[in-house]
Structure 1
């Protein structure tokens, strides 16, 4: 049974499902899925029986915003979708707790580009932590665009989770903290318990 979102956001070119910990948005975690991954699949994997990232986030008072990206998108287009999601999360958040923003696969690349672009434009993204889980390796033209924006955002703490054999285009020193190991999986939980626990321990309190 798929977890029911508290709210559904209809965004330009995308949809997000919002799961709140206490009935209102207070400590948002924005997670962009890999390109073309449906929200139902994202939600099922986030609430997997073997490890529920959703339940663990809620237990710590964090809200989860799952963002589905189109299968045929681009880094810049997907980054715009993440920016719209971040802007809405800031607008609807009660209080001033920093956001956590990240993703998996192309969603991770989109999140990195989105926040870097907002900083380049001097737009406050209100984000304390950016995380990349098995991020997509940018194409040459995407790499050039990322470099123009500084490569990655500088304000949030940058956490990198990468499985063995995954090329995400990041050097060892690119992130503030790195967790490697394990193998990439297309099914099962969205994050393994090992990855999830590591990430949760490093989210803004």
Structure 2
């Protein structure tokens, strides 16, 4: 049975499920799923029996915002949806803690573009850590758009998680820290225990 969210947000072209640690949004971690993965499926993977990222985050006082993307979206369109989620989280958050924003697959690419675009527009995304898990490789036209925005967000710390043999279009030089592992099996947790533990150690204090 999928864990029920404490709140749902209706955003542009997407829905987010919000899980708070202490009843209100204070230390948000926004995780953007791969294209076509519904929030319910993301929640099931985040609270998987073999490794529950949701439980581990809550135990440390972090909230989890899961954002599902449509299966027919684009980097720029999905990036706008992520910006919508970031703006709402920052507006509803109580306290001074920076946000953590990232994703997996197409969601990682959308989050990368969203934060880079906000910096390009000189908008405060209040993000301290950006993470990319097996980020999708941008198409040629998207690559040109990313280049125009500066390739990547420059303000937050950039964490890269990539499975062995996966091409994410990134290099170790572009990220502050990279971890490579076997990853989780299909139908398993959203992040393996190896990745989840590493990410938790690097979240903003």
SS of residue in 1 equivalent to 2:170: coil
Deviations 1:43-66 (A, max 9, x none): 000000000000000000000000
Count of paired positions: 205
Deviation at 1:186, TM superposition (A): 2.9
* Contact persistence 1:27–1:62 (CA under 8 A): yes
* Contact persistence 1:164–1:184 (CA under 8 A): no
* Contact persistence 1:134–1:184 (CA under 8 A): no
* Contact persistence 2:90–2:126 (CA under 8 A): yes
Report the Cα distance in structure 1 between the residues aligned to 2:83 and 2:63, rounded to whole angstroms.
18
TM-score by length of structure 1 reads 0.98
| Structure 2 spans left out of the alignment, 5+ residues | none
Report the Cα distance in structure 2 between the residues aligned to 1:141 and 1:16, rounded to whole angstroms.
28
Deviation at 1:12, TM superposition (A): 1.2
2:150 counterpart residue number: 150
Report the Cα distance in structure 2 between the residues aligned to 1:197 and 1:132, rounded to whole angstroms.
15
TM-score by length of structure 2 reads 0.98
| Structure 1 spans left out of the alignment, 5+ residues | none
Report the Cα distance in structure 1 between the residues aligned to 2:159 and 2:95, rounded to whole angstroms.
24
1:88 counterpart residue number: 88
1:63 counterpart residue number: 63
Deviates more, 1:65-74 or 1:183-192: 183-192
Report the Cα distance in structure 1 between the residues aligned to 2:128 and 2:203, rounded to whole angstroms.
8
Report the Cα distance in structure 2 between the residues aligned to 1:204 and 1:120, rounded to whole angstroms.
23
What RMSD in Å do the two structures reach over aligned CA positions?
A: 0.8
> Does 1:101 find its partner at 2:101?
yes
SS of residue in 2 equivalent to 1:33: strand
> Does 1:49 find its partner at 2:49?
yes
SS of residue in 1 equivalent to 2:77: helix
Deviation at 1:169, TM superposition (A): 0.5
SS of residue in 2 equivalent to 1:34: strand
Deviations 1:5-34 (A, max 9, x none): 000000111000000000000000000000
Deviations 1:128-163 (A, max 9, x none): 000000110111111110000000010000000000
Deviation at 1:184, TM superposition (A): 5.8
Report the Cα distance in structure 1 between the residues aligned to 2:65 and 2:183, rounded to whole angstroms.
25
* Contact persistence 1:166–1:184 (CA under 8 A): no
**1:92–1:140 Cα change, 3 Å:** same
Deviation at 1:185, TM superposition (A): 3.5
